[in-house]
Amino acid sequence: MQSASHHAPSAAEHDELLARYTLHSRADILFQLRAIRKRKLLVNLFLLGSRQIVVTSVLAVNEANNTLILDASPDDALNQDLMSGKGAEFVAQLDGIPISFVTGPVTLCKYEKLPALRIALPRSMIRLQRREHFRVPMPIANPVKCIVPSATEADPEPISTHILDIGCGGVAIADSSGRLGPETGRIISCCKLLLPDADAIFTTLEIRNSAQIRLYNGALQIRLGCKFIDLPNDMAARLQRFVMDIELARHNSL
């Protein structure tokens, strides 16, 4: 498996290194944004220079005024942080395809007599053009851990597994201890994904498939393909951003 860098590309690197994934056509950009509004999809605004996330939605796409109107956060403090002038990163998924752009300044406004956020329509937009819930491989040299709670009181120590690949819909983990077992259909709560350069993600996993793998040194390992169950919005947003950064970095290395 090819190692992947965990460098998160800047907006400038996006344009320079990944031009084939960047939309510049105003018609194409408007089409994407109108589809997000029509389907009432969740949008995550990542505050630049912060780990804060505002979960919102697109209320209106105003081509004449060159503005995009988003629902304001119920948390006034988050709205004020957005007004800092640093801007935010807009991240959404349309038909399972990650879409993102940097917003520029955010201002407060009224939309249908309710508080709303206003940003300029983006001049460019990154669209990865991949299938729904695509997976990105994790490096072998520096394994990314998934900590799984023990299922037995007799052996209460959590089980440390490493992540083979990860996507917005699930994760494949490898267990070398033999403690997890190969049974499918199990639901495991309180699993912790220790992603590099990011807050830990806590989730429930459903084991969908399993396979026994023999390593080069002769040792046996269980590979478990897992689905995320009821992943909270803030955790899903962090995961989506992490997956996008890894995929962009991978294309940079090709």
229 pLDDT higher than 60: yes
pLDDT digits (tens, 9 = 90+) for 42-92: 888 888 877 677 888 999 999 999 999 999 988 888 888 888 877 888 988
CB contact at 8 A, 79 and 72 = yes
Cα–Cα distance measured from residue 221 to residue 224, given in angstroms and rounded to the nearest whole number = 10
Query: Can you give the pLDDT at residue 133?
Result: 53
Tokens of 53: 């996330």
Query: Can you give the pLDDT at residue 16?
Result: 52
Higher pLDDT: 251 or 174? It is 174
pLDDT digits (tens, 9 = 90+) for 97-106: 788 898 988 9
Closest CA to 242 of 55, 42, 91: 91
In angstroms, what is the C-alpha Rg of the chain? Answer: 20
Question: Residue 120: which pLDDT band, with cuts at 50, 70 and 90?
Answer: very high
Higher pLDDT: 148 or 16? It is 148
225 pLDDT higher than 70: yes
Cα–Cα distance measured from residue 251 to residue 4, given in angstroms and rounded to the nearest whole number = 10
Query: Can you give the pLDDT at residue 131?
Result: 46
Query: Can you give the pLDDT at residue 2?
Result: 33
Cα–Cα distance measured from residue 172 to residue 138, given in angstroms and rounded to the nearest whole number = 10
Q: Which residues pair with 188 in a beta bridge?
A: 205
Q: Do domains 25-123 and 135-253 have the same CATH topology?
A: no
152 pLDDT higher than 70: yes
Query: Can you give the pLDDT at residue 250?
Result: 61
The CATH number for 25-123, chosen from 3.40.190.10, 3.20.20.10, 1.10.3720.10, 2.30.110.10, is 2.30.110.10
Tokens of 227: 């689905």
Average pLDDT, the chain: 81
Residue 224 burial (10 A CB sphere; 0-12, 13-18, 19+)? buried
Cα–Cα distance measured from residue 196 to residue 145, given in angstroms and rounded to the nearest whole number = 9
132 pLDDT higher than 50: no
Tokens of 32: 């994407």
φ, ψ at 35 (rounded to 5°): -65, -40
Superfamily of domain 135-253: predicted glycosyltransferase like domains (2.40.10.220)
Query: Can you give the pLDDT at residue 213?
Result: 75
Tokens of 244: 């996008």
Query: Can you give the pLDDT at residue 59?
Result: 96
DSSP 129-157: ---TT-EEEPPSSSPPEEEE--S-TTS-S
Query: Can you give the pLDDT at residue 215?
Result: 65
Mean pLDDT of 197-203: 85
Q: Which sequence spans correspond to the domains of the chain?
A: 25-123, 135-253
* Lowest-confidence pick of 146-150, 163-167, 168-172, 196-200: 196-200
Query: Can you give the pLDDT at residue 61?
Result: 96
- The 8-class DSSP code of residue 84 comes to T
Residue 67 burial (10 A CB sphere; 0-12, 13-18, 19+)? middle
Question: Is this structure's pTM higher than 0.75?
Answer: no
CB contact at 8 A, 71 and 116 = yes
* Lowest-confidence pick of 72-76, 160-164, 213-217: 213-217
Query: Can you give the pLDDT at residue 165?
Result: 86
